[in-house]
A and B are shown apart, each in its own frame.
Chain A
Amino acid sequence: MNKKIRLKLILFSPLILILLGNIIFIFYKLSNTDYLTKTSQILGNYFWGFPLIPFSVVLCVLLMLFFTRKTSLSIFLLNLSIVFILFLIAINTALFPEIHRYLQKFDSGFKIKKEPTLEKAMANSSASLSKDITSYLHLNHSLNNKILLIPSSSPLDNDYFFHAFVSSTQFKKEKYNYVLDNKDLKKLKEFESKKYKASQGIRDIKIYSLFPSQSPNEKLILFYHNHTILFLPLEWTHRLFPDIHV
């Protein structure tokens, strides 16, 4: 055996063995879960399913490159790549509705005259939201921006979120003129104190995400123009705004 190859074997074999050992250990530990079953199902699908088609096309083109010697192939490849990419985009739009929706918005883009705002970004992303979360965005719009729903990951963020919004060019506090009366505030406080311990109440808030992969059963924060920031369970929003149909 070549001296160089022998040296590489000596240097790298222990590394490969340790890495394989780690992977086997992880597989062993996960053997009682459904991760292995899911993984093998997915791999099985890839070999027999739809994604095989683009993969096969790629393979055929690479094989053609390997065996051919003609320079005219380059023109053919150029055309093929354009066709293939259109094909991929078509597949992507079929498989991933979000991209399809955004491409649909391309048509409506010509009609957009207003300057895009943060609300626009929220509305854009609402296409991929679950029904519950979308409904709260509609709630926000239906109240003519009287209340802005702001997700926050920690109560410690409140101060600077508040200040940030007040100083923002778009979100002036005068826009928000809806006030909860004392009865509503009392109900909220009672709810908060019963469900959560006083010291832990706000720390039980989970992260609210705008993406469907997150569960929508999280708390939202309502921002009032009187600078009071309260944490509101989702189900309470219906009770506070019975006239709003969401």
Chain B
Amino acid sequence: MFNQFLFLLYITVLGTLLLFFLKDHLRITNFYLLSLPAGLGAWLFFLTFLFLLPIPLNRILILTLSLILLASLFIIQKKKLFFSKYWKSMGIFWGFASLFSLFFLKFNFSVISNDSWRMIIGGKALVSSQRLIENLISSAGIYSYILHSTSTLFGFDYLYALFPLLTLSFGLFFLYNLTLNLNLYSSLPKTQPLFSSSLTLFLTLLLFSSFIILYHSIYIHNNLLFGIFTFIALFGLWKRASQGKRAWLLISWGALLTSCLFRIEGPLFALIVVILLISIRSIPYKEKFYYVGLLSLFMILWHAYLALILSGFTSDYFLTSQRVLLITALYIGALILLILYQKTLFKRIKKFFPLAMVYSLTFGWSFFIFTKGLRVKGDILILEKYGTLTLNVLENGGWGIIWIVLGVLFFIGLLLKRFHHESIFIYYILSFFLFFNILNLYRGGWREGWGDSGNRMLIHIVFIVAFYTFFKWGRLFLSKIQK
């Protein structure tokens, strides 16, 4: 337990020191609430990098390098840190983080499934074999295993306390930013912040007290992690576009890269964010260049490396060498888009890119369901997946009435008064569901119950849909308050 506590404290401190570079550009609450996700993302990137090096990893080496990383961040920022007024608040924050870590370590409510076993054991196997095992990398995102390899490296059994801790941190982040942005965008007088806080507290608790969110907070898997990092990525993009806060674009980039490596389909969903970014006029080309360029470069190099490992390997899992090459080609396409960006024709049509993306996905979905649906043999089994999904959303998937309420409020909310760059949310949500429906046709047999893969994937989008819906309706009701 103590070793796991040290690990959780380490990634919290790491995240705080990393975000310290951006402290002048972030509100202090966001600075602290993002520490754990930032530290986790940085740690996973660092550990993956070490795994790719031809050096044998052992506990002593990892611990030494981790401390060197932390010390380096201290030294780089020593002048700012030593004279900083943040020491007191950092101490209080780390104290609270420690307390909550101890609580979640003490009371182990974790649940595991076959997938969880695979991730926990796969993580241990990575350390023992000192290589990327083909079975692992073709069945789930590499971070799913790298995360659990920490247990062997830090000397504890398995990582269970991270998930509830991260859910708590993210829940507070969701609450704070919903409140903050409602205050910014509504006509509510500044003398009544308590009113908006009450409303957002009510809505956030409504969401986070639901069975499915509570269960995912104790379930050892990657769905919740993917959902959290995807939300931060999209939210950061929106903050940059609507409020001009450049630091958020960097945070968005880091979160998107992390989410890509948690799930096999992560890079494909990340392309939706890339298309949205390219189409936003208020973000200068230079920032887009670095964002898309670096992300594409990472994805191309990573998938080229995967293609090398998987070549000649017959996989029964999701990621085959052909699909890896497809993802690589798509990111090369993203780079080509970036190069063509400065052309005049491109400048005229780039604002239609999100719409074109939605139309492409719609036509793609139509093509697949009609071709698969019209085939004589096996068609009904493929389309039955949608029936199973519907039953999961309505009853068997553990969502309660979340999707009914959010669905109705979302569609009616589309008619309400718009806010700056609202289309970022709308296009992402629409594209997500379209692409999700296409993936639906290619994944294995789906089943009723919360554990079904497709049902769990809905957690990737629920926070984004909830934030958008609460924000739209919150603005409406707050605007009715008189001075």
Q: Which residues of A contact B (CB under 8 A)?
A: 11, 14-15, 18-19, 21-22, 25-26, 29-30, 32-33, 35-36, 38-39, 42-43, 46, 51, 54-55, 58, 61-62, 65-67, 69, 71, 73-75, 77-78, 80-81, 84-85, 88-89, 92, 95-96, 98-99, 102, 105-106, 109, 112, 115-118, 120-122, 124-125, 128, 150-151, 153-154, 156-157, 160-161, 163-170, 207-214
Report the minimal beta-carbon distance from B155 to chain A, rounded to whole angstroms. Answer: 6
Tell me, yes or no, whether B270 is within 8 Å of chain A by CB.
Answer: no
Given A42-B395, A66-B480: A85 and B107 within 8 A (CB)? no
A30 near B451 with CB under 8 A, answer no
Tell me, yes or no, whether B180 is within 8 Å of chain A by CB.
Answer: no
Q: Which residues of A contact B121 (CB under 8 A)?
A: 150, 160-161, 164-165
Assembly CA distance A33 to B379 (angstroms) = 13
A116 near B1 with CB under 8 A, answer yes
Tell me, yes or no, whether B118 is within 8 Å of chain A by CB.
Answer: yes
Given A26-B383, A30-B387, A51-B400: A58 and B109 within 8 A (CB)? no
In which size bucket is the chain B interface? 35 or more
Q: Which residues of B contact A74 (CB under 8 A)?
A: 192, 194-195, 197-198
B199 near A77 with CB under 8 A, answer yes
Contact of A124 among B110, B113, B201, B394 (CB under 8 A): B110
Q: Which residues of B contact A39 (CB under 8 A)?
A: 387, 390-391, 394
B110 near A209 with CB under 8 A, answer no
Tell me, yes or no, whether B120 is within 8 Å of chain A by CB.
Answer: yes
A29 near B199 with CB under 8 A, answer no
Assembly CA distance A143 to B339 (angstroms) = 65
A122 near B209 with CB under 8 A, answer no
Tell me, yes or no, whether B13 is within 8 Å of chain A by CB.
Answer: no
Tell me, yes or no, whether B24 is within 8 Å of chain A by CB.
Answer: no
Report the minimal beta-carbon distance from B101 to chain A, rounded to whole angstroms. Answer: 14
B202 near A15 with CB under 8 A, answer no
Contact of A69 among B112, B127, B447, B482 (CB under 8 A): B482
Tell me, yes or no, whether B401 is within 8 Å of chain A by CB.
Answer: yes
A213 near B448 with CB under 8 A, answer yes
B192 near A22 with CB under 8 A, answer no
Q: Which residues of B contact A208 (CB under 8 A)?
A: 114
Q: In this complex, what residue of B is CB-closest to A55? A: B401
A42 near B477 with CB under 8 A, answer no
Assembly CA distance A116 to B129 (angstroms) = 25
A33 near B109 with CB under 8 A, answer no
Assembly CA distance A36 to B387 (angstroms) = 8
Report the minimal beta-carbon distance from B123 to chain A, rounded to whole angstroms. Answer: 8
Q: Per-residue 0/1 for B368-380: is the Cβ within 8 Å of any A Cβ (1 yes, 0 no)?
A: 0110010000011
B473 near A214 with CB under 8 A, answer no
B109 near A209 with CB under 8 A, answer no
Q: In this complex, what residue of B is CB-closest to A213? A: B449
29 pairs, A vs B, C-beta closer than 8 Å: A21-B366, A22-B365, A25-B369, A29-B383, A35-B390, A71-B194, A78-B194, A80-B202, A81-B198, A84-B202, A84-B205, A92-B214, A99-B214, A105-B107, A117-B157, A121-B108, A121-B160, A124-B109, A125-B111, A128-B111, A150-B121, A160-B125, A161-B125, A163-B129, A167-B152, A209-B451, A210-B113, A211-B451, A213-B449
Contact of A35 among B198, B211, B384, B401 (CB under 8 A): B384
Given A55-B405, A164-B124: A112 and B111 within 8 A (CB)? no
Within 8 A of A (CB), among B426-483: 447-452, 473, 476-477, 480-482
Within 8 A of A (CB), among B28-80: none
Q: In this complex, what residue of A is CB-closest to B404? A: A46
Q: In this complex, what residue of B is CB-closest to A153? A: B114
Tell me, yes or no, whether B81 is within 8 Å of chain A by CB.
Answer: no
A213 near B450 with CB under 8 A, answer yes
